[in-house]
A = this chain, B = another copy of it.
Amino acid sequence: MNAKAILFDVFGTVVDWRGSLIGELTAFGAGRDIAGDWIALVDRWRGNYVPSMDRVRRGTLPWTRLDDLHRATLDQLVGELGISGLTEADRAHLTRAWHRLHPWPDVVAGLERLKRRHIIGTLSNGNVSLLTNLAKSARLPWDVVIGADLLHHYKPDPEVYRGACALLDLSPAEVMLVAAHNGDLRAARAEGLRTGFVPRPGEYGPHQHQDMTAEAAWDVVATDFGDLAEQLGA
């Protein structure tokens, strides 16, 4: 299990996007006296995550960064949910809420431990600027930030997993992907990467019905990032 690099899925695995966004958007609405079903907005925003990337993956859309997919979905949902009074600056600010998500409580200490003996980095559908701003805000001590805009492919396209290994000049067997999503790990394993599962059963709040447990014999199954560090001897 001596992976030289440990790469992490970010949304859901490292950061609590749902809780963070609900908190920020609710506070925004209250502060600006703008009424809206902010919880529905957040859940539907994320609900369009995979469909919007799939339009890029299938070639319906040309390459588009996640920030821009997020903005297009926000514009659509603001209309559908009848939220009024949002300026252009407000929409830009709310889209950047994805750059200010909070990590799960075990994350920073676990990453600090893993960083001592491994290269640690992102392997995310986020763009590099989003991931870099997020790391500054959440104090994530990455050695390297790999975002989908470096590879012009979204997970689970195999090009993402292969491309990350190529950028690090490592063989797939020297790289572990850690994710809270079995599908991401299946795609990584298909390309020869090692796999680590950490469940995040609160990721989708009361709506979560999937990824409650490991669905395959992943190389490591850990309860949180501290346990992951422990199992990897870090």
Contact = CB atoms under 8 A, between A and B. Distances in A.
Number of chain A interface residues as a range:
20 to 34
B136 A119 contact: yes
A143 B135 contact: yes
A24 interface: no
How many copies are assembled?
Answer: 2
A143 B150 contact: no
A211 interface: no
Nearest to A132: B144
Contacts of A132: 119, 121, 143-144, 168
Nearest to A131: B144
A13 interface: no
Contacts of A145: 143-145
Nearest to A115: B136
A217 interface: no
A129 B168 contact: yes
A124 interface: no
A137 B129 CA distance: 25
A195 interface: no
A36 B232 CA distance: 42
Across the A-B interface, the 5 shortest Cβ-Cβ residue pairs: A129-B169, A132-B144, A128-B167, A129-B168, A144-B145
Contacts of A128: 144, 167-168
Nearest to A143: B132
A149 interface: yes
A4 to B, nearest CB: 9
A43 interface: no
Nearest to A4: B133
A127 interface: yes
A67 B169 CA distance: 10
Nearest to A169: B129
Interface in A76-95: none
Contact of A129 (B133, B149, B150, B167): B167
